[in-house]
């Protein structure tokens, strides 16, 4: 029986992977690796299979081997950076992704993964720059628009957040996450307007104005009941008579 060559084993491994048989693909790549253990292509294939199988440690090992054997392969550095991010090695992730971008500045996924790392590090301004670069390289990257919306939302720049959520929805209609983000922006804007229109804490509304009755005001509608206030009527009558008499005397003086 003729032993299969490295090329045949790798081709069979790729076919198995296409048929969603990662275990078979891994077995074939490992057989190929025994024949050529310094092949970056075999390590790359193994890394991809291990990643699909969620064996992150093995995937990390093989991507590191690719970067060692072929230090100019941009894709390996970008994938390595993404793995470092998943394994919480954020500084290593930044270094690997920057190297990948340096080798190939036209790969949007490099900038995108770098933005994810910056976001986790709390460096939102750097994340915004990286997302924008990803969109410059690939304007149809809906995920970059969505994540930019999230960053701007956290920075309370609601207009920019809303714009990016809408662009994400244009590229991917009915996307639940983007719809939720857009709804959150609208709610935040409404709440902000309500806070601005509400009185400040500690302020009290002015008391209602009332018109106090004047001390000189006279109730023209007031009447006096003779049955209960007869004495007052008598006094008023006497005062009226005296006033008339005084008036007559004064008039006589004027006439003289």
- Buried b or exposed e, range 103-113, using 16+ CB within 10 angstroms: beeebbbbbbb
Give per-residue pLDDT as tens, 110-147. 999 999 999 999 999 999 999 999 999 999 999 999 99
Name the residue among 204, 154, 143 with its Cα closest to residue 177: 143
pLDDT at 168: 97
Give per-residue pLDDT as tens, 165-189. 999 999 999 999 999 999 999 999 9
> What is the share, in percent, of the chain residues with pLDDT greater than 70?
77
CB-CB contact of 181 with 160 (8 Å):
no
pLDDT at 195: 87
CB-CB contact of 112 with 80 (8 Å):
no
Residues 6+ apart with CB under 8 A from 71: none
13 falls within a domain? no
pTM of the model: 0.74
Q: pLDDT category, 68, cuts 50, 70, 90?
A: very high
CB-CB contact of 17 with 49 (8 Å):
yes
Name the residue among 6, 29, 7 with its Cα closest to residue 17: 29
Q: pLDDT category, 217, cuts 50, 70, 90?
A: very low
91 falls within a domain? no
188 falls within a domain? yes
Residue 189, domain extent: 140-196
- In the chain, the number of structural domains is 1
Given a cut of 60, whether residue 14 has pLDDT beyond it is yes
Separation of alpha carbons 201 and 161, rounded Å? 29
18 falls within a domain? no
159 falls within a domain? yes
Separation of alpha carbons 130 and 110, rounded Å? 9
29 falls within a domain? no
Q: Which residue has the higher pLDDT, 3 or 141?
A: 141
* C-alpha distance from residue 36 to each of 7, 33, 44 (Å): 10, 5, 13
164 falls within a domain? yes
Given a cut of 80, whether residue 148 has pLDDT beyond it is yes
172 falls within a domain? yes
Q: What is the CATH number for 146?
A: 1.25.40.10
């Amino acid at each position: 029986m003729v032993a299969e060559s490295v090329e045949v084993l790798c081709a069979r491994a790729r076919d198995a992977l296409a048929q969603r048989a990662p275990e078979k693909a891994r077995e074939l790549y490992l057989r190929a690796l025994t024949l050529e253990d310094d092949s970056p292509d075999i390590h790359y294939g193994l890394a991809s299979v291990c990643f699909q199988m969620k064996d992150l440690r093995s995937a990390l090992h093989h991507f590191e081997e690719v970067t060692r054997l072929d230090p100019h392969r941009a894709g390996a550095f970008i994938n390595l950076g993404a793995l470092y991010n998943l394994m919480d090695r954020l500084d290593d992730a930044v270094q690997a992704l920057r190297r990948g971008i340096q080798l190939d500045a036209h790969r949007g996924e490099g900038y995108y993964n770098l933005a994810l790392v910056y976001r986790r590090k709390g460096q939102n301004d750097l994340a915004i720059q990286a997302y924008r670069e990803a969109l410059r390289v690939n304007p149809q990257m809906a995920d970059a628009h969505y994540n930019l919306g999230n960053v701007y939302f956290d920075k309370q720049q609601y207009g920019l957040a809303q714009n990016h959520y809408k662009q994400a929805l244009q590229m991917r209609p009915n996307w639940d996450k983007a719809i939720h983000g857009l709804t959150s922006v609208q709610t935040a804007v409404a709440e902000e307007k309500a806070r601005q229109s509400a009185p400040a804490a500690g302020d009290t509304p002015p008391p209602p104005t009332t018109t106090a009755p004047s001390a000189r005001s006279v109730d023209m509608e007031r009447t006096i009941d003779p049955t209960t206030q007869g004495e007052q009527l008598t006094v008023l009558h006497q005062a009226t008579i005296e006033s008339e008499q005084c008036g007559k005397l004064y008039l006589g003086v004027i006439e003289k």
